[in-house]
Amino acid sequence: MGAGHAHKLYRQGRSPVHQLPPHCKLAAVLCFVLVVVSTPREAVWAFGLYALLLAAVAAIARVPAGFLLRRMLIEVPFVAFAVLMPFVVPGDQVRFLGLSLSVPGLWGAWNVLAKGTLGVAASVLLASTTELRALLLGLQRLRLPPMLVQIASFMIRYGDVITDELRRMSIARRSRGFEARGVRHWGVLGKSAGALFIRSYERGERVHLAMMSRGYTGTMPVIHEMTASRAQWTSAAALPLSALAVCLLGWTL
């Protein structure tokens, strides 16, 4: 399976977290996120402990805090949504700095921010310690439908190709004196988008024919079989099991 080039989220390393099999890390992150989502929002202290668990994993993986925080900026749209909730959700009101805020909205905003931030942080840590090719092999090892794995593989492989095509089209427009300055130029941009779609579709047809001519039957060959020992599964399970203990304590208090 291809798509073995490094991605921007990946940080090269030889830490114990890097060396864990990808399907172990995928299962651990999924279980951790499920535990976080299941935690009652009123257990504020529990989310602090979850953050400490992720900080410990980041320290073991030798992923700097700055590297992690910069790549968590993808969460900004969710933060903007959460900030609006105290103003639009109906319910009891409280006054803060001259503003009237909804109590259910404040709890909802906290719920979105806490659980969303932890989920994004866990995902970024996974991507920082696992190459794309290994992630795809891990998904296949976890018995994800092969067609979905292949779609993800082609998306990763040809994403850069399509981006380069778009860049060349932009250079061609600028070399002819075109600069998009307003609504009247949207037509040109729309035609460029249409041309990019047609070129991508035609490229996909050519790639499919080339694969069929080389014996493609609907499944991609697996060159390296991913395996994991009991010790590796135990190491990967440490994060979700610790989070589960915190979650159960949060429900009992």
Which tens digits make up the pLDDT trace of 21-74? 999 999 999 999 999 999 998 889 999 999 999 999 999 999 998 888 888 888
Would you say 140 and 149 are in contact if contact means Cβ atoms under 8 Å apart? yes
What are residue 13's phi and psi, to 5 degrees?
-175, 170
- Residue 35 has a pLDDT of 95
Confidence of residue 144 (pLDDT cuts 50, 70, 90): confident
What are residue 156's phi and psi, to 5 degrees?
-70, -45
Percent residues over pLDDT 70 in the chain:
95
How long is the chain?
A: 253
Instruction: Dig out the tokens for 212 from the structure.
Output: 């069929």
Q: What are the distances in angstroms from CA 226 to CA 140, 156, 229? A: 9, 20, 10
Report pTM: 0.79
| Rounded Cα–Cα distance for residues 138 and 117 (Å) | 24
Of 165, 226, 174, 176, nearest in space to 198 by CA: 165
SS3 99: strand
Confidence of residue 4 (pLDDT cuts 50, 70, 90): very low
- CB count in 10 Å sphere of residue 82: 21
Q: Is the dihedral of CA 175, 176, 181, 186 positive or negative?
A: negative
Q: Using the predicted structure, report yes or no on whether residue 7 has a pLDDT greater than 70.
A: no
Q: Are strands 99-102 and 93-96 parallel, antiparallel or unpaired?
A: antiparallel
Strand boundaries in the chain, DSSP class E: 93-96, 99-102
- As a whole number of Å, the end-to-end CA separation of the chain is 48
Would you say 6 and 18 are in contact if contact means Cβ atoms under 8 Å apart? no
